[in-house]
Amino acid sequence: MLGDRVDVSFDARRAARADKSGHAAAGLPIAVVHAESVEDVQATLRVATATRTPVVTRGAGTGLAGAANAGDGEIALSLRGMDRVLEVRPDDLLAVVEPGILNAVLNERLAEHGLWWAPDPASRAISTVGGNIATGAGGLLCAKYGAVRDAVLALDVVLADGRLLRVGHRTVKGVTGLDLTSLLIGSEGTLGVIVGATLKLRRIIPGETCTIAATFTGVRDAAAAAAAVTATGAQPAIMELLDAASLAAIHAHLGLDAPPPGTAQVTVQTDGATAADDAAVIARVLTGSGGRVAITRDPTEGERLLAVRRAFHGAMERLGTTLIEDVSVPRSALPAMFDEISRIEREYGLVIPTVAHAGDGNLHPNFVFEAEPDSAGVVEVPPRVWEAADALFRAALALGGTLTGEHGVGTLKSRWLADELGDDQWEIQRRITGVFDPDGILNPGKVFLR
Amino acid sequence: MLGDRVDVSFDARRAARADKSGHAAAGLPIAVVHAESVEDVQATLRVATATRTPVVTRGAGTGLAGAANAGDGEIALSLRGMDRVLEVRPDDLLAVVEPGILNAVLNERLAEHGLWWAPDPASRAISTVGGNIATGAGGLLCAKYGAVRDAVLALDVVLADGRLLRVGHRTVKGVTGLDLTSLLIGSEGTLGVIVGATLKLRRIIPGETCTIAATFTGVRDAAAAAAAVTATGAQPAIMELLDAASLAAIHAHLGLDAPPPGTAQVTVQTDGATAADDAAVIARVLTGSGGRVAITRDPTEGERLLAVRRAFHGAMERLGTTLIEDVSVPRSALPAMFDEISRIEREYGLVIPTVAHAGDGNLHPNFVFEAEPDSAGVVEVPPRVWEAADALFRAALALGGTLTGEHGVGTLKSRWLADELGDDQWEIQRRITGVFDPDGILNPGKVFLR
């Protein structure tokens, strides 16, 4: 039925075991289906339902929670080949796309129309729009321009039994029945296979950008300064925070002079008609909070300042194996959360370099450890690191935060899900998956495993 | 158990039969429970579950789709008395409130902190935040500042069996499990009783506002001009359109000179740092589209121009009985939708004065008819008007639109719900209500009735 879209090669099956979390599923999937059309997806799901075979949907495999990892007895359904832009409507500020298109490629195409899709995960050059939607991805610009949940109007979804459902609206407003579009955003492959998306676009922001880099003698001061920026009401487009371990690692990675020990950095970018005024206000706040501030209206110099932040993941890869976490706290709790991370570093004898999207309170603590990869190149996270991650999650929840701001639950955080949701909500969520997928063939063991 | 919060007086029960749609439930509810606390709501739901008694949740009764109307054998559960602001956090841009507070009262309280909650239904002076959430309300400012779905972080919900559930996050980002907060927004009392809300706030926009009123020789030209404004990329805070019948009725209502026959009006307000520049661009587009344009930066004069729009509902009440509809279309389809309304007026021999939130494509056609109220003051919509409404809904769907942009489905639009959703989605939505409410006691017969 699916012909050569069914790939049973060892290499394809091995690649489908893992995502960018470094974690992998046990065993190998039966096959990888490289879907080229909605009909291919429907055919795959019909076979899966008839044979009660689990299906793990996959985009570019850049997830950081293991949700797209396919293992023994499972079909890996790749949508990467469905990457067309079907419609761009500047007058209605919407685009209709297939799920496999890369975020950055879509935005190049939209730029020709003076448009953009705001969600900008750090992985945007290598991650798909469908994956962004399935995880409810965020990014650097979220505090000002919103996350995926704010940027999707409608979805086409293939159900577990192969039926095609269209949910949502092409209109800005619409309250006809329950909001299944929002329910599908961030559902990590447990409700259906997203085969099309109607995206809510913005016009490219006219005017200059201003960039500020401020260094602080400690991460707590940097975090307090970032919280103070939020409290003034000035709205950064980007506000990123690098703690001392991150900054030192990045400087080493980029061949820059080592920063003084303990130095943390806040990088801010403002845009739009008020970019210069906002930057001036923010620079004053950062200076008043003890920061050494550099500010520029030159785009090239601005990109140079931001390049330090953008080198974070590369620098981490050189430190060893990392478990990348993703807690989020109310913005006023950023300093307290960094205190907790320091405490956990001491208690567990770990180094946890942390970058934060400080404009929205989302932190990525990176647990660094030594481990030998297995024959498939996959490493297991040591128990001590999981214990420290457990302490991190509990600290975030105690501060009014959440386990995951933008990466999702997948396999890596499923054991903590009920801690955050409570048993009653966990059970209701699990039952909702049963409405969409009564046989439990869609990404079983992900998200809702206990 | 509930003492004097249980009101069995005839007047209270009669008032709970109807909302502002003019439609009423058959018969009288058993009682009105005036809840004063979450515990009162829980006690009510426990009794309801034990006795399988339907519960209709109610705020201020300003709904326009009949969703809060309670009839024979039902409990009307009023949350109007739960109206406290529990927390305001300017640093985290959030507030925690009880559901019964009026939208305008909340915004007065928030203004003391330099904050506001953006959803601004035309009913904001008389409608509750809980009702706004339960219907997924919109308003005039949505195109620029979003609707309810963009402005709620978390909800406290009492389930049908009396359990209290807390869904969502206090954080800007959060993707832990399924987005039940969005699912509850606009669920019209079918999933649970919203007893608390954590709202996403904005800072009051600094700077001036500019107001533009433009008149056109026909509604089609006015609609085309509004669509042209959207297509330029200039972002109005408010863009309202009044067709000729509306404008004439308002002028008569306000004692102003009658406008020339056929005259339609577009009223625009811009705000923020670029208010004057945006207004200049928009005025040029409106003039270029054939409009006679007045523009002002004076707030008093601006309010005078907007007062014409704000008098719409008062003017309609003087025309006779109205059925207020709420279709929404992609913004580029506004002119075509007005053509369809003209066609329906001719075909059904009706006058359908229409106001549109032209910035987001949401139209409120008012079907005016003569009818005798029954002994309870309630009128039945004549079959011919329903037939015209049916034609309106089909026209909106054919243009890529939706039945309801912001009022909800309730009882008045439930018979068309499956036409928009399709049978498969309708069934999935109905089954989701069963996960929350297995005995079907929450607002039965609303939304999902066929």
B61 and B123 co-located in one domain: no
Chain A CA closest to residue B143:
A172
Give tens-digit pLDDT for B317-353.
888 888 999 999 999 999 999 999 999 999 999 999 9
Chain B CA closest to residue A232:
B91
B221 and B351 co-located in one domain: yes
Check if the beta carbon of residue B65 is closer than 8 Å to that of residue B131.
Answer: no
B370-376 mean pLDDT: 76
* Residue of A138, A176, A447 with shortest CB distance to B417: A176
Nearest Cα residue to A321 out of A352, A367, A353, A356: A367
Q: Which two three-digit tokens encode residue B28?
A: 């009288």
Give tens-digit pLDDT for A296-326.
999 999 999 999 998 998 899 888 888 999 9
Whether residue B378 is predicted with pLDDT greater than 80 in this model: the reply is no
- State whether B178 and A186 contact (CB < 8 Å): yes
- State whether B331 and A91 contact (CB < 8 Å): yes
Give tens-digit pLDDT for B389-414.
999 999 999 999 999 999 999 999 99
- State whether A149 and B328 contact (CB < 8 Å): no
* Residue of A173, A330, A402 with shortest CB distance to B176: A402
Whether residue A270 is predicted with pLDDT greater than 90 in this model: the reply is yes
* Residue of B173, B179, B203 with shortest CB distance to A406: B173
User: Does B284 reside within a domain?
Assistant: yes
The residue among B116, B144, B178 with the most chain A CBs within 10 A of its CB, best to mutate, is B178
Chain B CA closest to residue A278:
B273
A379 and A277 co-located in one domain: yes
The residue among B149, B173, B201, B414 with the most chain A CBs within 10 A of its CB, best to mutate, is B173
Q: Which two three-digit tokens encode residue A315?
A: 């620098």
Which CATH number does the domain housing residue B164 bear?
3.30.465.10
A136 and A102 co-located in one domain: yes
Nearest Cα residue to B436 out of A161, A183, A190: A183
* Residue of B150, B175, B404 with shortest CB distance to A176: B404
* Amino acid code (one letter) for A4: D
Q: Which two three-digit tokens encode residue A106?
A: 């879509």
ipTM for the predicted complex comes to 0.96
Check if the beta carbon of residue A149 is closer than 8 Å to that of residue A182.
Answer: yes
Question: What is the per-residue pLDDT for A441?
Answer: 98
Q: Give the count of beta carbons closer than 10 Å to the beta carbon of residue B62.
A: 23
* Residue of B143, B170, B274 with shortest CB distance to A273: B274
Cα B245 to Cα A14, A386, B242, B263, B308: the distances in Å are 67, 68, 8, 9, 13
- State whether A406 and B273 contact (CB < 8 Å): no
User: Does A417 reside within a domain?
Assistant: no
**A with B: how many residue pairs have Cβ under 8 Å apart?**
238
User: Mean pLDDT: which of A272-276, A382-386, B339-343 is highest?
Assistant: B339-343
Q: Is A119 on the interface with B (CB under 8 A)?
A: no
User: Does B32 reside within a domain?
Assistant: yes
Residue A102's Cβ-side half-sphere holds a number of Cα atoms within 13 Å equal to: 12
B293 and B370 co-located in one domain: yes
A172: containing domain: 85-203
User: Does B44 reside within a domain?
Assistant: yes
Minimal Cα–Cα distance from B32 to chain A, Å? Answer: 26
User: Does A441 reside within a domain?
Assistant: no
* d(C-alpha A126, C-alpha B399), whole Å: 36
How does strand B362-369 pair with strand B321-324? antiparallel
Q: Is A443 on the interface with B (CB under 8 A)?
A: no
Using the 3D structure, point to which of A358, A377, A398 is the last residue of a domain: A398
Cα B346 to Cα B265, B339, B340, B343: the distances in Å are 22, 11, 10, 5
Give tens-digit pLDDT for B254-296.
999 999 999 999 999 999 989 999 999 999 999 999 999 999 9
- State whether B173 and A328 contact (CB < 8 Å): yes
A44 and A192 co-located in one domain: no
Q: Is A419 on the interface with B (CB under 8 A)?
A: no
Q: Sorting pLDDT into bands at 50, 70 and 90, what band is A372?
A: confident
B53 and B171 co-located in one domain: no
User: Does B445 reside within a domain?
Assistant: no
Q: Which residues pair with B293 in a beta bridge?
A: B214
Q: What is the DSSP string of A307-349?
A: HHHHTHHHHHHHHSEEEE-B-B--GGGHHHHHHHHHHHHHHHT
User: Does B277 reside within a domain?
Assistant: yes
* Residue of A146, A176, A402 with shortest CB distance to B420: A176
Which CATH number does the domain housing residue B50 bear?
3.30.43.10
B242 and B354 co-located in one domain: yes
B15-19 mean pLDDT: 95
* Amino acid code (one letter) for A431: R
pLDDT-above-90 percentage for chain B: 90
Whether residue B153 is predicted with pLDDT greater than 80 in this model: the reply is yes
Question: What is the per-residue pLDDT for B380?
Answer: 81
A69 and A92 co-located in one domain: no
Q: Which two three-digit tokens encode residue A377?
A: 């190149």
Chain B CA closest to residue A165:
B425
Using a CB-CB cut-off of 8 Å, the residues of chain A touching B111 are none
Question: What is the per-residue pLDDT for A371?
Answer: 82
Minimal Cα–Cα distance from A181 to chain B, Å? Answer: 9
A54 and A119 co-located in one domain: no
Using the 3D structure, point to which of A43, A78, A113 is the last residue of a domain: A78
Q: Sorting pLDDT into bands at 50, 70 and 90, what band is B23?
A: confident
Task: Give residue for tokens 């002079």.
Answer: A257
Q: Is A186 on the interface with B (CB under 8 A)?
A: yes
Which CATH number does the domain housing residue B281 bear?
3.40.462.10
Using a CB-CB cut-off of 8 Å, the residues of chain B touching A205 are none
- For chain B, positions 362-381, list CB contacts with chain A under 8 A: 362
Q: Is B174 on the interface with A (CB under 8 A)?
A: yes
- For chain B, positions 191-250, list CB contacts with chain A under 8 A: 191, 203, 227, 230-231, 233
Cβ-in-10-Å burial (0-12, 13-18, 19+) of A333 comes to buried
Q: Sorting pLDDT into bands at 50, 70 and 90, what band is B227?
A: very high
* Residue of B233, B273, B332 with shortest CB distance to A273: B273
Give tens-digit pLDDT for A169-185.
999 999 999 999 999 99
* Residue of B91, B171, B360 with shortest CB distance to A172: B360
Question: What is the per-residue pLDDT for B233?
Answer: 82
B215 and B170 co-located in one domain: no
Question: What is the per-residue pLDDT for A90?
Answer: 94
- State whether B170 and A429 contact (CB < 8 Å): no
pLDDT-above-70 percentage for chain B: 99
B100 and B192 co-located in one domain: yes
- State whether A114 and B233 contact (CB < 8 Å): yes
* d(C-alpha A229, C-alpha A267), whole Å: 12
B89-114 mean pLDDT: 97
Using the 3D structure, point to which of A15, A43, A78 is the last residue of a domain: A78
Check if the beta carbon of residue A8 is closer than 8 Å to that of residue A52.
Answer: no
How many structural domains is chain A composed of?
A: 3
Minimal Cα–Cα distance from B279 to chain A, Å? Answer: 14
Q: What are phi and psi of A73, to 5 degrees?
A: 80, 5
Whole-number mean pLDDT of chain A? 95
Q: Is A182 on the interface with B (CB under 8 A)?
A: yes
Q: Is B168 on the interface with A (CB under 8 A)?
A: no
- State whether A429 and B362 contact (CB < 8 Å): no
Using a CB-CB cut-off of 8 Å, the residues of chain B touching A436 are 428
Contacts 24+ apart (CB under 8 A), B1-4: B1/B43, B1/B47, B2/B33, B2/B40, B2/B43, B2/B44
Three-state secondary structure string covering chain B:
CCHHHEECCHHHHHHCCECCCCCECCCCCCEEEECCCHHHHHHHHHHHHHHCCCEEEECCCCCCCCCCCCCCCCEEEECCCCCCEEEEECCCCEEEECCCCEHHHHHHHHHCCCEECCCCCCCCCCCEHHHHHHHCCCCCCHHHHCCHHHCEEEEEEECCCCCEEEEECCCCCCCCCCCHHHHHCCCCCCCCEEEEEEEECEECCCCCEEEEEEEECCHHHHHHHHHHHHHHCCCCCEEEEECHHHHHHHHHHHCCCCCCCCCEEEEEEEECCCHHHHHHHHHHHHHHCCCEEEEECCHHHHHHHHHHHHCHHHHHHHHCEEEECECECCHHHHHHHHHHHHHHHHHHCCCCCEEEECCCCEEEEEEEECCCCCCCCCCCCCHHHHHHHHHHHHHHHHCCCECECCCCCCCCCHHHHHHHHCHHHHHHHHHHHHHHCCCCCECCCCCCCC
Q: Sorting pLDDT into bands at 50, 70 and 90, what band is A381?
A: confident
User: Does A440 reside within a domain?
Assistant: no
Whether residue A114 is predicted with pLDDT greater than 60 in this model: the reply is yes
